[in-house]
Amino acid sequence: MLASASENYIKQVTSLSRRKGRDLHNSFLIEGARSLQSAIQGGADLVAIFVEDEAMTDFKLSQLVETYAGKVYAASSREMKKMSDTSTSSGILAVAKIPEPSTDCILCKGKTLVLDGVQDPGNVGTLIRTAAWFGIDAVMATPGTADFYSPKTVRSAMGGIWDVQLERIDYLDGFLDTCIRNEVDIRFADMQGTPVSEWKAPKHSILIIGSEAHGVSEGARAKAHGPISILPAEGKRAVESLNAAVAGGILMSHW
């Protein structure tokens, strides 16, 4: 029979839905059986797994208990709803440690995606998922970008957070200066620029995606080697632009 978590621990897990709680406990939420499976395959440092009675048949509970002895807890529907970030709980929720910053050299990577002020966590998660699919080596985020480990980002990433190197950067200008000194090609997404069909990225390259509202920051524009654009169909149209995640996906498919 599974043990139950204390009320204080339930409160701690509940706090992980907020950035302040994640920073305080250096942990984040993983919700749903598929996300948990991806985390296990990706080598996540799991510190707790909560299983609601109704969900026990949807996951190999005995295997979980055996592999994560002492870390698997039974949770009531009330407790699960309290901890979950979604309106309808999937019945399985885990807590994982936020990975330590990697010592791998970003400049040594072949392809690095930089998110410059992408505020919507759903877009950030989708961009991470897409980057993983297309073999992008690393995803970096500026201070104005949504948290990599917010519940919505993790859900949208669909396991992608385990397949790419994720790093936050405090000063984009300084990072790009270092890239320039090391002859890394820097491009950014923009409405006006070289058509993506003509883009021939060198071995070491960086692509910057900006926010839908403001685009790429002026500092990044000034330091980049030029913009890359996705040409629309000819003729009158009401739509002004592409969603940031959609545009990023199209660009990464040509990278």
Return the domain boundaries, the chain.
Answer: 3-97, 106-254
220 with 255: CB under 8 angstroms? no
As a whole number of Å, the end-to-end CA separation of the chain is 51
Residue with token string 């885990």: 94
In terms of Cβ atoms closer than 10 Å to its own Cβ (0-12, 13-18, 19+), residue 222 is: exposed
Q: How far is CA 17 from CA 101, 115, 180, in A?
A: 21, 22, 38
How does residue 18 score in pLDDT terms, banded at 50, 70 and 90?
Answer: very high
Residue 141 has pLDDT above 60, yes or no: yes
**How is domain 106-254 classified at the CATH fold level?**
Alpha/beta knot (3.40.1280)
pLDDT digits (tens, 9 = 90+) for 56-66: 655 576 778 77
Stretch 3-27: mean pLDDT: 95
Domain 3-97, CATH among 3.30.70.100, 2.40.30.20, 2.60.40.10, 3.30.1330.30: 3.30.1330.30
Whether residue 214 has pLDDT greater than 90: no
pLDDT, tens only, 149-186:
999 999 999 999 999 999 999 999 999 999 999 999 99
Helix (H, G, I), strand (E, B) or coil at 1: coil
